[in-house]
Structure formats: structure tokens, C-alpha cells
Structure 1
Amino acid sequence: MLQLITPDLYGEFASELKEMHGLRYRVFKERLDWEVQTEDEIETDAFDGFKPVYLLLKGSDWRIRGCVRLLPSTGPTMLRDTFPVLLGGDVVPSTAEIWESSRFALDLPPSTPKAAGGLAQATYELFAGMIEFGLANDLTRIVTVTDTRMERILRLATWPLSRIGQPMPVGKTEAVAGLLEISHATLLRIRGRGRLRGPVLWKPVLAPSA
């Protein structure tokens, strides 16, 4: 299940957001060893302070297994404010029809079901949630800064990144900026390859009482 956490619900879902930051620490600091800001085994950055929307992927045990952060391209974004060098001289996207995704992360158990291309079904679920969010908000594209490893995953999922500039070394990885199409056709393709049934993005709900 995917939960959509908007700024007005941060307080209600504070424990889920804290768990998400812990997942980001495990993925970006411990696994990938990126140069990220951490404290007490959680990872945050300045863009968490700009009231983003979060998509949280929950497992059957209600634990957070994945996440992605979404911000409008008309405000502060990682591409504009942190990685403008990746634009390659192009103009940074800035329109209501384009949002930026960042901090896409998955921390899955070995038993996670696989789908097309050998990718985890959960990967397709989070991709589908991003597209559903985009369609619900009249977006045409998502802009993102990612690494070439994630670019390969997007290609395998048949949601290819349209590069804005050429890949460049950033810290310990090779980063690239690009655009992802938001359309009903793209959603249908992702659902099919991920063997997903129906919509994946749901309004926030509280976990059942213990």
C-alpha cells in the first residue's frame, strides 16, 4: 500500500515520517555511502523543510519499505539549487505541470516478489504511485536528479529517463538529470509490467491499534 503524506498531515504521521528518514539513512548512507546529512541514524536535507509531498510504501506488516519525495518545480529543487551543473547549459524546468522527485529509496526483504525485468514488484508499485499522483495533479512530467544505476532501473521498467544533460561525477556516484513522462499510457505499461491490480495510491489511513 502507498500512503500519500501531504504537509497538513505531517503531525498525524510523524512516526511514519521518522521511519522513512531511517530508511533513507540505511539506503543512502549505509548502503550507497553517499555524502548525505545524517544524525541519530536518520537522513534529512534542506529540501525536507520546503513542505514536500511524500509517498510511503508500506509492507503487509505496516513497516515502511520505500519512499519518494515530491516538490513543485516552481519552488526550491535539488536540480536548481544543488545540482545546476547537471543541466548542461539547459534551462531548469519551472512550471506547474512539472514536479521534482528525489530521495527515491527501497529497503526490501529478500522474499519480495519480482516482476518484469527482474525488478521488485515494489519498484513498479512506487513508480505507479508517482504517475498516479502526477495524473491526479495534472502533471505532464517529473524531473529528477538520480544516478546512472537508477537510470538503468527506469529503463528496465520501460519508464525511460529523458536526459537533460550528460552524466557527471557527484561525490561517489555518477549523477544525471532528466524528465519522466506522466501519462495514462505510461501508467498502464507500468501496471502491466509490475503485475499490479488497480490503483496503488491511497489517501492516508492510520495503522490499526495494537
Structure 2
Amino acid sequence: MFRTITPENRDEYQDLLDDMHRMRYRIVVGEWGWEIPGIPEGYDKDQFDTDNTVYIVVRNEVGEVVATSRMNPTTQPHMLSDLFADYCDLQPYPVGTDVWECSRFVTDRSLLADPVEDFRIRCRLGIGLTVFCLDKGINRLSWLTHQKFYNLVQRVWKTEPLGLPHREGDDWAWIPAVSRIDQATLDRQMDRFRNAEEIVAQYMAPKRRAGGGRVA
């Protein structure tokens, strides 16, 4: 379903990590248009890919990396502490052994056959994050996400904002947030994975106005 790469087993998965960093570059730079200082051409590895980083990687049936995310301990430098502390204008970013930061939540939709597979892949990625956290006694994940994804996260994880939405010259409003991780979180994720076809059908159904007319 997913592969968890930790400092302890990283040497076994160097080829997979290389594929993951190249996939991240294709999406975050090539598709999303991010400018990330200091990274090599074609390879997204920045200062927050450290010896202590944990990765969740999902591959398709032919072994291609289709989704990934990374986690870093908040007791060490991380994105909210070093780059986006000023975004946390409602409450300070959390720090502690029981809270890690999640970043680079990325999927390559070009390798996915349809919306149901896309949904299931993202479910697998979220399940991987939650399973690791439950196993390690981590009960919160902090992250910076765009507003649309923040609204989706709330359906699975109990999430609260650390700051108001911020815009930095693009179409995405960014929100720093923290989500609680517990067994109920995993149960909801597993239910969504099992019911993927029904949930995606609901998402794709034409929306209707209060008076009954369709929204274009």
C-alpha cells in the first residue's frame, strides 16, 4: 500500500528516494511553478530533507512513484519555524516530541488512471502518515497547506488553523495548521479508502442551487 522510509532503513531505499525526489521536482517545479532556491535541476531536495526526515512513498503497479510526503520533528528546524513563523498569527506553531511537521504532500496525477485511483492514492498516503504517527506516539501534525486542501483535511483530521490565509503573489491562499492524529483518524481514513468510488461520485455530481437549479 505504501512504503515508510526512516533514518533506520534509508540505505535500503536509495533508488526509491531518488525516484521520489525527481517526481517531486516534476510536480512542484514543473507543474506548480515553485521556485525553490538551491535545489539541483530535476531533483527536489532542500534543507528540510535531512537525516531525520521520514518519507511516505506510494508506487503504482509498475513501480513508479505516484505519491509522497515527508515528516520532520518539530524539535529541530522545520518549515514553519524557519520560513513561515510569521504566518502563524493566530497561535504559535507547536513544538514537541509528540508533534511533527508534514510537508511536500505530492501526487503525480499524470500517472493515475482516473479520479477514483487518484482518491485512493491520496488515501494511502494519508494512511501511511497516520500509521507512522500512531506507532511513534505522535499525536499532532503541523503543516502549511493551501485553503482548498485545508477544507478537505478537516473531513478526516481534526484540524485547526495556526494563522489566517496568506497570499504570496499566486492564486493559492496558504494556511498554517495543526491536525490531531488518533485511532479515530485512521478509522475514518480506512472507511474513505474502502468507499472511494461512492465518495468520488458524490464529489463529481453536479452541484445544485438552493432553489434546485444546477450550478454551472
Question: 1:42 Cα shift?
Answer: 1.2
CA distance in structure 2 between the partners assigned to 1:186 and 1:129 by the alignment: 12
DSSP 3-state at the match of 1:66: strand
Aligned length: 192
Match runs of 1:9-20 below 5 Å: 9-20=9-20
Higher deviation after alignment, 48-57 or 75-84 = 48-57
CA distance in structure 2 between the partners assigned to 1:140 and 1:6 by the alignment: 18
Q: Which amino acid aligns with 2:156?
A: T
The aligned counterpart of 2:204 is none
Question: 1:54 Cα shift?
Answer: 0.7
Higher deviation after alignment, 138-147 or 43-52 = 43-52
DSSP 3-state at the match of 1:43: coil
The aligned counterpart of 2:157 is 159
Identity %: 27
CA distance in structure 2 between the partners assigned to 1:62 and 1:30 by the alignment: 21
The aligned counterpart of 1:184 is 183
The aligned counterpart of 2:113 is 111
The aligned counterpart of 1:146 is 145
CA distance in structure 2 between the partners assigned to 1:110 and 1:97 by the alignment: 34
Question: 1:151 Cα shift?
Answer: 1.5
Q: Which amino acid aligns with 1:141?
A: R
The aligned counterpart of 1:23 is 23
Question: 1:165 Cα shift?
Answer: 0.8
Question: 1:158 Cα shift?
Answer: 3.0
Distance 1:171 1:26, change over 3 A: farther
Contact 2:158–2:179 (8 Å) recurs in 1:
yes
CA distance in structure 1 between the partners assigned to 2:88 and 2:78 by the alignment: 13
Question: 1:113 Cα shift?
Answer: 5.7
Question: 1:78 Cα shift?
Answer: 0.4
Question: 1:4 Cα shift?
Answer: 0.9
DSSP 3-state at the match of 1:158: coil
Match runs of 1:11-160 below 5 Å: 11-37=11-37, 38-88=39-89, 90-108=91-109, 109-112=111-114, 114=116, 120-155=119-154, 157-159=155-157
Gaps of 5+ in 2: 196-216
CA distance in structure 2 between the partners assigned to 1:24 and 1:106 by the alignment: 8
CA deviation vs aligned residue, 1:136-172 (integer Å, no higher than 9, x gap): 01111111111223213324x5335311110111353
CA distance in structure 2 between the partners assigned to 1:152 and 1:25 by the alignment: 25
Pairing partner for 1:169 from 167, 170, 189: 167
Question: 1:76 Cα shift?
Answer: 0.8
CA deviation vs aligned residue, 1:65-115 (integer Å, no higher than 9, x gap): 111111111111100111001110522211111111011101133414618
More relative contact order, 1 or 2 (CA 8 Å, 6+ apart): 1
CA deviation vs aligned residue, 1:25-72 (integer Å, no higher than 9, x gap): 111111111122442311121011352011111111121111111111
| Structure whose CA Rg is larger | 2
Q: Which amino acid aligns with 2:128?
A: G
Contact 1:112–1:121 (8 Å) recurs in 2:
no
CA distance in structure 1 between the partners assigned to 2:175 and 2:22 by the alignment: 25
Contact 2:48–2:78 (8 Å) recurs in 1:
yes
Gaps of 5+ in 1: 197-210
CA distance in structure 2 between the partners assigned to 1:17 and 1:6 by the alignment: 11
TM-score, normalised relative to structure 1: 0.84
Contact 1:34–1:171 (8 Å) recurs in 2:
no
